[in-house]
């Protein structure tokens, strides 16, 4: 039996046979993972927004300067989509030297009604720490990546960032200290939290779709 083509998959999709078309595109990409058109069509055919991001990010890796792919990704990162992701949960990713920063950040966000997850607060005593982390990563829709020299030197954090990129989830970087920034082509715009930066929490809340800072 011959391999399906993209053209055949598109024809099935336009005839309303969406499931079979989706499976055909997946088959094409298994045989030819470097097919940019295939990834673009997979994104178009996907019903889940995170699956759409995954496909477009794969296409962007293959064609980093393709404006059509960049624009398609941007349309999936609207304020409405960011807020919907935040409603699923906001995961805070940080290095241990930035623990106090992460704790204060979580407190400020919770005070404004944000559904935050932070390991030092939210892992129950009777639950394995690694299991709790894994469940939180899967449940939350957006990650706040606290960036610092310590964070950039922590392999576990790089694994968390990569997991969110590969799952089509959103990563919002927070610059806590001066450091060389990692590749952020798949991330949202950085919020500057370094000492002296004004209105950092207010700006972050606005990006997450929570526009009022509640004073404690």
Place of tokens 């964070």: 151
Q: Are 102 and 118 in contact, with CB atoms under 8 Å apart?
A: yes
Measured CA angle at 52 (ends 117, 12), to 5 deg: 150
Distance CA 120, CA 133 (A): 11
Four-residue CA torsion sign, 167, 96, 216, 201: negative
Helices assigned H by DSSP within the chain: 6-14, 18-31, 36-45, 49-62, 67-75, 79-88, 99-111, 119-122, 129-139, 149-152, 155-166, 200-208
Mean pLDDT by 10 residues, the chain (216 residues): 83 93 94 95 94 95 93 92 96 97 95 95 88 95 97 95 95 93 81 85 93 50
pLDDT of residue 151: 96
pLDDT tens for each residue of 94-127: 999 999 999 999 999 999 999 999 999 999 888 8
Average pLDDT in the chain: 91
Q: Inter-axis angle of helices 36-45 and 67-75, to 10 degrees?
A: 20
Q: What is the pLDDT of residue 1?
A: 52
Domains of the chain, first to last: 6-75 (1.25.40.10), 80-208 (3.40.50.10140)
Per-residue confidence (pLDDT) for residue 23, from 0 to 100: 94
Radius of gyration of the chain (CA): 19
What does the pLDDT read at residue 212? 54
Looking at residue 211, its pLDDT comes to 74
pTM: 0.88
């Amino acid at each position: 039996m011959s391999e399906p083509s993209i053209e055949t998959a598109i024809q099935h999709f336009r005839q309303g046979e969406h499931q079979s078309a989706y499976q055909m595109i997946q088959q094409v990409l298994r045989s030819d993972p470097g097919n940019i058109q295939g990834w673009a069509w997979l994104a178009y055919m996907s019903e889940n927004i995170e699956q759409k991001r995954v496909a477009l990010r794969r296409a962007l890796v293959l064609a980093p300067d393709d404006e059509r792919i960049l624009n398609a990704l941007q349309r999936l990162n609207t304020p409405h989509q960011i807020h919907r992701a935040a409603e699923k949960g906001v995961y805070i990713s940080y290095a241990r030297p930035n623990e106090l920063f992460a704790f204060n950040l979580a407190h400020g966000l919770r005070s404004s009604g944000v559904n935050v997850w932070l390991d030092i607060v939210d892992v129950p005593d009777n639950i394995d720490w690694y299991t709790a982390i894994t469940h939180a990563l899967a449940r939350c829709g957006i990650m706040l990546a606290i960036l610092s020299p310590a964070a950039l030197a922590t392999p576990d954090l790089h694994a968390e960032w990569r997991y969110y990129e590969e799952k089509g989830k959103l990563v919002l970087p927070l610059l806590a200290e001066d450091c060389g920034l990692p590749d952020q082509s798949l991330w949202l715009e950085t919020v500057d939290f370094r000492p002296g930066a004004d209105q950092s929490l207010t700006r972050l809340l606005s990006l997450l779709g929570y526009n009022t800072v509640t004073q404690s």
